[in-house]
Amino acid sequence: MNDREKPMNAIPTPDDGVSGAELERKVYDAEFVTDDAPGRAPNRLRPPWSPRTLGARRWRHAFASLVMAAVLLWRSGPMVRVRSVAAYRVRKIPQDVARLVWFVLRGNWRWLVKFWTWATYADLRADARRARLAGDAEARRAAQELIRSDSQARWAKVGICLHRIVVLVRVLAPVVIVLWALDSWVPRGDMWPWLASVYNGLDAVWTIVAAAGPAVIYTLPVLLLVAAAFEGRDKTPGVGWLVHPDRDDADSWIDERMISKALAHLGISPLNQFFKDGGVLAYTVPARKDGDGTYAQVRLPLGVTADMVASQRPKLAANLGRAALETWPTKGDEDGILDLWVADKGTLNGGAGDWPLLHDGQVDLFKGVPFGLSQRGLVINAPLIGANWLIGGRPGQGKSACLRTILLGAALDPTAELWVYVMGEAPDFEPFAPRLMRYRMGMDDAVAEAALQALSDLLDEMERRGRVLGQQPGRPPKVSRRLADNRSLGLHPIVCAIDECHELFQHPKYGKQAAEMAIRLIKRGRKYGIVLLLATQSPTKDSIPREITRNVSCGVAFSVADQIANDGLLGSGKYRAGIRATDLRMNTDRGTCVAVGVTDATFELVRTFYIPFEDGIDDVSPVVTRAVALVEETGRAIEAPHRLEIEAAPVDHLADINLVMHGERRVRTQVVLSRLAEHNPAEYEGWSPSDLTATLAIDGVRPGKSHGVMVIRAEDIADALTRRDDSSLPDDGERDGETTGTRGVLPAYSLTRSPRPDVGKPRTGRANAAHGKPAETPESGTRPPSLGDIPGSPGESDGTPP
Ligand SMILES: Nc1ncnc2c1ncn2[C@@H]1O[C@H](COP(=O)(O)OP(=O)(O)OP(=O)(O)O)[C@@H](O)[C@H]1O
C-alpha cells in the first residue's frame, strides 16, 4: 500500500519504511477522527483505546446511570408520596406554627386547670353540689366524705414524703461531711488506694453531672414546650395536624378528616344538618392502616344509620377518590355505627398469587383450607368442619375454581373422604377422580339420582355418627380431630360437593327430596364432620330452597346481578347493610368474591386463589397425585373405609315425650320440642311441630288447644302408653313376642321422605370415564361406593336406601 492509498488517520509503522523522525512528524500532522462530543477539544493524541479514554468513558457511563437512577427514584411511588407530603407540609408551615403556639398556650392552661381541680377537689365538690341540687343527701354525704378522706390521705402522703427526706438527709449528711473533711485534710497520694479510687469515682460522677447540667437546663424548656403542645393538642377526633394531606393526595391514604368530609357530602339530610350545626363525628376507631387499606369506625349522629350511608356507596367512594369496589361502608355492632374499610388505590386489582399448598404441604380440615386473600391481604383459611358452604355468582366468575380450591385443600387431608357431583357437562373436577370416593358428572337424570342417593346416604351416616358419638365416653357433642383420627369409629370428615346444585334442586323428579335432605344435612350434619359444599349460578328462591340459604354457615358471592341473588347467597339484609357482591364487576373482578361466615368479621372481600386447569395447563393433577400419595402413606384407602356400625338404640318417642313432660299436666308443643331436642339432639334436633304431631298420631294422641296455644296433655300420653303396654302383652295374639324395644325405629326423616319407586332403573350418567373407573350403572350390578357398602349395613344387598 503506498502513502497515497493510506487513510489519513492510519498510523505508520516501521514496516512502512519511514524513519522515527518522519514517524513522529507524520503523527503530528495527522488528525484523529474521534467521536468526542461536539464542543469539546478533540483528543488528538489519545487513541480511543487508551486507558485514559476508556476510564473517562466509564466515568461518563457511571454518571449517566447515576442520573438515570436518581430520576427513576424521584419518580417512584414512595418518592412521589414523600414529595407530596413534603410539599403539603411546606404549604402548611405558617398554619402549623400558629397552631403549635396555640397548643402550647392551651396545654399550659389545661395543666393549670388540672392542678386547680386536683388541689381544690373541684370534681368532688361538683359531685357534692350536684347531689345537693338533686336532693340526694346520701350522695352528697358520700362526696364530702370522699373529699375529707382524700385530703387526709394527701397530707399523710406529704408527711411520709417529708419524713423520708429527713431520714435520708440525716443518714447522708454525716457521710458527706466526713468525706469532704477527709478530702480536704489528707492528700490523695497519702490515702489508702481503695479510698483514693472512691474519690476518683466521685470526681468522675461530678464531672459528668457538671457537663450534663447545662444540657439538661437547655433541653428542659424544649421538652416542656413539646409536652405543653401535646397536652394542648386538638383532641377532637378527625383532627390531625401533622400528616394529613388534602384530597389531592388522597391516593396515598385516608384519614378521619377526609372521611368526615366525604360523609358530609353524601346528601343525607340529618348528616348535612349535623355538619351545618358544627357537629364533629365521633370516631370509635380512628382511621388506621388495616391490611391493604384503611379502617375506621364512626358513631353516626342522630337520625343517621349505617344503612343510609351504605346506600350512598358510589357517592362515598367518589368523595374518597376510590372505586366503589374499594369502598366498604357496612353496619357495625349497632345500626348507628358505621364500619368503613377503604382499600389502598388499585391493590384489589392484583390476584391472590400462588396457592400456598400448590407445591407441598398437608391440610388439617379441622383448621381449614387456604382459599384466598382477605381485603386486608391475609390468607383466609376456609373453615370446613362444622360449616356448610353456598357458593354462587354469575357464569364464569370463578365459582367452580373456588370450589376446586377448597376441595383440593380437603384432598390434602388424608383422613377426608370426598364426594363430587357436577350437575352439568363440565370437566372441572375430572383430575380429582383418583382421590374421590364418589364422582358423577353429567346433565342426565342418573346424575341427579346419584346425588340424591348421596344425600340419603349422608343422612344415614349422620344418624350412625350420632349413635357412635353417643357411645363415646363423656358423650362428646361433636366430632373432633381426635375422634376423626380413630379409624375404628369411622368419624373422619366427609366432604360432599355439588356443583350447579340448582339443577338438582329444580329437578322435576328428585328436586324436592334432594332439597329436604340437603336442609336436614345442613341443619344437623355439621356436628358429625359431614360438610356440604354447594355451588350455583342461580341463587334465587326458586332454585335454592330458602331453608338452605338461611342455614348455610358460609356464603360466598362472586359478581351477582341483583339484591335477590346477593341476599340469597350472603343472607337476608346483607345488601341493605352494605355487603354487596353486586358491586363486583363482571369479568373484571373474576375470582374476587364477598364471603360471610368464613371469619369472625361481618364479611370478607376475598381474592380467591386460582389453581389453573384450562387451556392445556393443569396444576390440579399434581396436587391430586400428592393427595393420593398422602392417603396411601397413612395406610388409608380412598374406597369405603371401615365404619363402626352401632346397633341403633331403639328410640321410644312416646316414652321420651312422656319423660320431657316433667310431670306437668299440659305442656306447649314448642316446649316439648325444645325439651326433646335437649334430651336427645341426634334424634330430635330439627323436629318441627308437624313431626311431633305425626309421631303422636301413630299412638293415637292429638295435641289440643289451651288458651290459644297448642299443648300436649299428660293424661293423653299416659293413656297412650297404657294402651300400648296392654297391646304388647304376650297373650296378645297379633303382637306376640314384640316388645317396645324391638319395634324398630322410625327414622326421623322418614316423615318427609317417600320411597322412590324408580331407584334401580337404568342410569346413563358418566362416571370417571377419563380415569378408567367403571361407570356406576345398575346394569353392572354396582352403585356408587356408598356408606351403605359397609359389610352388614342396611342397603348392602339391593342398593335400596333403608
Ligand atoms: N381466582 C381466580 N383468579 C383468576 N382467574 C380466575 C379465578 N377464578 C376463575 N378465574 C377465571 O375465570 C374463569 C371461569 O372460572 P370458573 O369456571 O370457575 O367460573 P364459574 O363461575 O364456575 O363459571 P360457570 O358458572 O360457567 O361454571 C376461569 O377459567 C379462569 O380463567
Q: Distance, CA 290 to ligand 1 centroid (Å)? A: 28
Q: Which atom of ligand 1 is nearest to the CA of 592?
A: 1
Q: Tell me: is residue 394 an annotated ligand-binding position.
A: yes
627 with 660, same domain?
Answer: no
ipTM score of the complex? Answer: 0.96
Q: Tell me: is residue 506 an annotated ligand-binding position.
A: no
Ligand 1 and 394: CB distance under 6 A: no
Pick the residue whose CA is nearest to atom 4 on ligand 1.
591
In a domain, 7, yes or no: no
Q: Tell me: is residue 563 an annotated ligand-binding position.
A: no
Q: How far apart are CA 47 and CA 31, in angstroms?
A: 11
328 with 452, same domain?
Answer: no
Q: Distance, CA 42 to ligand 1 centroid (Å)? A: 66
Q: Distance, CA 729 to ligand 1 centroid (Å)? A: 66
Ligand 1 and 624: CB distance under 6 A: no
Ligand 1 and 613: CB distance under 6 A: no
Q: Tell me: is residue 397 an annotated ligand-binding position.
A: yes
Residue 642: its pLDDT value, please? 43
Q: Distance, CA 402 to ligand 1 centroid (Å)? A: 8
| Closest C-alpha to 300, from 336, 264, 257, 339 | 336
Q: Grid coordinates standing for 5?
A: 492509498
Ligand 1 and 399: CB distance under 6 A: yes
Last residue of a domain, one of 732, 747, 779: 732
Ligand 1 and 397: CB distance under 6 A: yes
Q: How far apart are CA 267 and CA 287, in angstroms?
A: 22
Ligand 1 and 245: CB distance under 6 A: no
CB 249 within 8 A of CB 88: yes
Instruction: Classify the C-alpha dihedral 127-129-133-138 as positive or negative.
Output: positive
Q: Distance, CA 560 to ligand 1 centroid (Å)? A: 14
Last residue of a domain, one of 706, 732, 758: 732
Pick the residue whose CA is nearest to atom 23 on ligand 1.
396
Q: How far apart are CA 165 and CA 694, in angstroms?
A: 88
Q: Which amino acid is at 726?
A: D
535 with 665, same domain?
Answer: no
User: Could you tell which of 380, 400, 533 is best to mutate to test the pocket of ligand 1, judged by most ligand atoms within 8 Å of the CB?
Assistant: 400
In a domain, 326, yes or no: yes
Q: How far apart are CA 788 and CA 802, in angstroms?
A: 9
Q: Tell me: is residue 399 an annotated ligand-binding position.
A: yes
428 with 525, same domain?
Answer: yes
Give this prediction's pTM: 0.53
379 with 275, same domain?
Answer: no
460 with 319, same domain?
Answer: no
| Closest C-alpha to 397, from 552, 527, 188, 559 | 559
Ligand 1 and 623: CB distance under 6 A: no
Pick the residue whose CA is nearest to atom 1 on ligand 1.
591
Beta partners for residue 614, in sequence order: 617
SS3 610: coil
Pick the residue whose CA is nearest to atom 11 on ligand 1.
398
Pick the residue whose CA is nearest to atom 7 on ligand 1.
591
Give pLDDT < 50 ranges for the chain.
1-26, 39, 237-250, 640-648, 730-802
Ligand 1 and 396: CB distance under 6 A: yes
Q: Grid coordinates standing for 277?
A: 350545626
Domain count, the chain: 4
SS3 252: coil
Pick the residue whose CA is nearest to atom 30 on ligand 1.
398
In a domain, 519, yes or no: yes
Ligand 1 and 591: CB distance under 6 A: yes
Beta partners for residue 536, in sequence order: 392
Q: How far apart are CA 223 and CA 229, in angstroms?
A: 10
pLDDT digits (tens, 9 = 90+) for 217-238: 989 999 999 999 988 877 654 4
383 with 503, same domain?
Answer: yes
Opening angle at CA 259, ends 257 and 264, nearest 5: 95
What burial letters (b/e) apply to 247-277, b meaning 16+ CB within 10 Å?
Answer: eebbbebbbbbbbbbbbbebebeebeebbee
SS3 21: helix
Tell how strand 369-373 and strand 604-608 pair up. antiparallel
Q: Tell me: is residue 453 an annotated ligand-binding position.
A: no
Cβ partners under 8 Å of residue 444, min gap 6: 763, 764, 765
CA distances from 165 to 154, 156, 159, 172, 176 (A): 17, 14, 10, 10, 16
148 with 210, same domain?
Answer: yes
Q: How far apart are CA 312 and CA 320, in angstroms?
A: 12
Domain CATH number, residue 687: 1.10.10
Beta partners for residue 283, in sequence order: 298
How many other β-carbons are positioned within 10 Å of the β-carbon of residue 122? Answer: 13
Q: Distance, CA 416 to ligand 1 centroid (Å)? A: 25
In a domain, 38, yes or no: no
Ligand 1 and 398: CB distance under 6 A: yes
Residue 721: CA count within 13 A, CB half-sphere? 14
Q: Distance, CA 398 to ligand 1 centroid (Å)? A: 3
In a domain, 763, yes or no: no
Q: How far apart are CA 431 and CA 368, in angstroms?
A: 22
In a domain, 361, yes or no: no
Pick the residue whose CA is nearest to atom 16 on ligand 1.
398
416 with 333, same domain?
Answer: no
Q: Distance, CA 130 to ligand 1 centroid (Å)? A: 68
User: Could you tell which of 399, 536, 607, 618 is best to mutate to test the pocket of ligand 1, judged by most ligand atoms within 8 Å of the CB?
Assistant: 399
Q: How far apart are CA 673 and CA 689, in angstroms?
A: 7
Ligand 1 and 539: CB distance under 6 A: no
Ligand 1 and 597: CB distance under 6 A: no
Beta partners for residue 282, in sequence order: 299
Residue the block writes with cell 424544649: 222
Q: How far apart are CA 681 and CA 710, in angstroms?
A: 22
In a domain, 305, yes or no: yes
616 with 691, same domain?
Answer: no
Q: Distance, CA 590 to ligand 1 centroid (Å)? A: 7
In a domain, 241, yes or no: no
Please report the DSSP string for 540-558 in residue order: STTTS-HHHHHH-SEEEE-
Q: How far apart are CA 366 and CA 493, in angstroms?
A: 9
User: Could you tell which of 610, 613, 615, 619 is best to mutate to test the pocket of ligand 1, judged by most ligand atoms within 8 Å of the CB?
Assistant: 610
Domain that holds residue 669: 653-732
Q: Distance, CA 588 to ligand 1 centroid (Å)? A: 11
CA distances from 467 to 168, 190, 507 (A): 78, 97, 32
Beta partners for residue 348, in sequence order: none
Q: Which atom of ligand 1 is nearest to the CA of 405?
A: 1
Q: Which atom of ligand 1 is nearest to the CA of 401?
A: 18
Q: Grid coordinates standing for 485?
A: 383420627
Cβ partners under 8 Å of residue 306, min gap 6: 300, 329, 330, 331, 332, 335, 336, 337, 338, 339, 577, 578
CB 645 within 8 A of CB 464: yes
Q: Grid coordinates standing for 279?
A: 357537629
The torsion region of residue 118 among left (phi > 0), alpha (psi -120 to 50) and beta comes to: alpha
User: Could you tell which of 358, 590, 593 is best to mutate to test the pocket of ligand 1, judged by most ligand atoms within 8 Å of the CB?
Assistant: 590
343 with 388, same domain?
Answer: no
Last residue of a domain, one of 633, 664, 698: 633
Beta partners for residue 417, in sequence order: 494
| Closest C-alpha to 6, from 22, 26, 21, 25 | 26
432 with 503, same domain?
Answer: yes
Q: Distance, CA 395 to ligand 1 centroid (Å)? A: 8
Instruction: Classify the C-alpha dihedral 779-780-781-782 as positive or negative.
Output: negative
Pick the residue whose CA is nearest to atom 29 on ligand 1.
614
Domain CATH number, residue 493: 3.40.50.300
Q: Grid coordinates standing for 38?
A: 461536539
